[in-house]
Chain A
Amino acid sequence: MRLITKNKKIASRIIEGKAFVVTPFDSTLHMFNPLATRIWQLLDKENRIEEIVKKICQEYEVDEKIARRDVNELINKLEKKKIVEVTDPERRNEISKHG
């Protein structure tokens, strides 16, 4: 189970319904679309993908499979850009058991 947390080093604001995020490592400004903005807001309270998918399904008329795919896609993109940090405690435990 992956846990998602916002990178504390990034800067962000939600302006007129859109999230604007600055990655200070490369001084780049990113703009999120409305759904990505909603996920970004949910990350303030939730850090598990399953919970986020559940909330998105409740708020939007969307199939769970599609929602999960979209959320995962976004999280992967954000992780690559160091906007969020993804940890997997189970995997970490596995590694420590066998490592």
Chain B
Amino acid sequence: MKLANTVSEEIFRISEEKNIPLYVIFELTHRCNLRCIHCYLPHLNPLPLREREEERGRSRELTRIEIKSILDQLVKEGCLHLVFTGGEIFLREDFYEIASYARGKGFDLRILTNGTLINEQTANSISELCPSSVEISLYGAKAVTHDKITRSPGSFQKTIKAIKLLKKKGVSVIIKCPLMKQNISEYEDLWRLSEDLDTVIKFDPILAPSNNGSKRPLTYRITNTDLSKIFQDKRLFNSSLVPSYLRQRRIRLRWKLPVTSNFICSAGKNLCSISPYGDVYPCLQLPIRLGDLRRKSFNEIWHPEKHGLPQIKKMRIAADKQTRYTIDELRKTRIEDITVCCGCSSAGICNRCPGLAYLEDGDFKGPSTIACQVTKIIKNTV
């Protein structure tokens, strides 16, 4: 009797083949106490209107009883890795009840938060939940930079305090930092700060559009010159925490390993996201609505063919998008279906994200502007 050591690939292969939703990202609320300039959640502007909008959203949120019922269904479907995210999840008063229930059901739990609502008592409660990690968003090494991005004075100090409290309680903390024009000058300082805090830092140099198709967050993207500099940083590629599309491609190129096209991801195959209102999507970044958990069971949405239900014909998508897809089409998409890209000479080193292609360029089967840009930079910098 032996315990296997390398199993990630095995479980990934099985779950993708059998369409087991192994990874689920569950947004518990879209309410947030910060007002980050680059947020992917579509919000009304100006800010005062957002308060009312959020209040309306709160009344539509899944109740804890509904959430528990969904978690029960996810257990049956084979979900193991569960991410609780928001908005800001600690705005839900029933968060611990929900999270404790999830732990009791054997989920591997990760918590995404801005940390501003974490105090000594909440840090204790989080520690008792024993999550695999708590991932905290930090946008700058200086208070002025972070607070300007969150548009919330004092948020930097609260976030740093939360990181220290959680570390003290022995919780595994990961700092998440999207790189943007506003904080790129503090890139080195952010590395140092994460070292001082004895935690790891995960950078993402590519901002995504809002989920309603708004490209406003893209105006904060770092320049190609800065992207080139980032891609030359060996620390980034040594870390297992950087986005795989950056790490794998560079390593393969450097070591002249065979490169394969990777235009298709696991969204809708072994991964999905659930909104605070019960909508199921293939991924947080691929807002093609697959179904409503208030109307159908998870199994009916995820495996419509088993229930003799017709594939969803009409899906609500971002206003400026024309193409519509079913979950079946998503799953059956092959590299050859990405017609524009599969003949490209850089295909082997491109790691196009279908969600970004969809949100930014309007078609998840089409080329992705940012992927082309990044691929070009990687080719030139390696």
Contacts and interface: CB of A to CB of B under 8 A. Distances in A.
Interface stretch (A10-18, A47-55, A85-93): A10-18
A30 B107 contact: no
A22 B7 CA distance: 11
Given A11-B107, A15-B78, A31 B7 contact: yes
B11 A20 contact: yes
Contacts of B75: 13
B133 A33 contact: no
Contacts of B106: 10-13
Interface string B339-375: 0000000000000000000000000000000000000
13 contacts: A9-B130, A11-B80, A13-B75, A13-B78, A13-B79, A24-B131, A27-B132, A30-B7, A33-B4, A70-B1, A74-B1, A77-B3, A81-B3
B37 interface: no
A74 B172 CA distance: 28
Contact of A16 (B2, B18, B104): B18
Interface in A1-53: 8-13, 15-16, 18, 20, 22, 24-25, 27, 29-33, 35-36
Given A29-B8, A31-B7, 5 more contacts: A11-B80, A12-B106, A13-B79, A22-B132, A31-B10
Contact of B1 (A11, A12, A35): A35
A10 to B, nearest CB: 8
Interface in B1-51: 1-5, 7-8, 10-11, 14-15, 18, 20, 22
Nearest to B20: A15
A20 B132 contact: no
Contact-residue size bin, chain A (C-beta under 8 Å from the other chain) = 20 to 34
Given A11-B107, A22-B80, A36 B172 contact: no
Contact of B14 (A12, A16, A36): A16
Given A24-B108, A24-B130, A24-B131, A15 B4 contact: no
Contacts of B22: 15
Contacts of A77: 3
A74 B3 CA distance: 8
Interface string B104-135: 10111100000000000000000000111100
A9 B80 CA distance: 14
Interface in B68-82: 75, 78-81
Contacts of A13: 75, 78-80, 106
Nearest to B17: A16
B18 A29 contact: no
A71 to B, nearest CB: 8
A4 B125 CA distance: 26
A20 B75 CA distance: 13
Q: Most chain-A Cβ atoms within 10 A of its Cβ — which of B15, B78, B131, B132?
A: B132
Q: Kindly list the 8 A-B residue pairs having the minimum CB-CB distance in the complex, ordered from nearest.
A: A11-B108, A31-B7, A31-B4, A22-B108, A9-B130, A13-B80, A24-B132, A74-B1
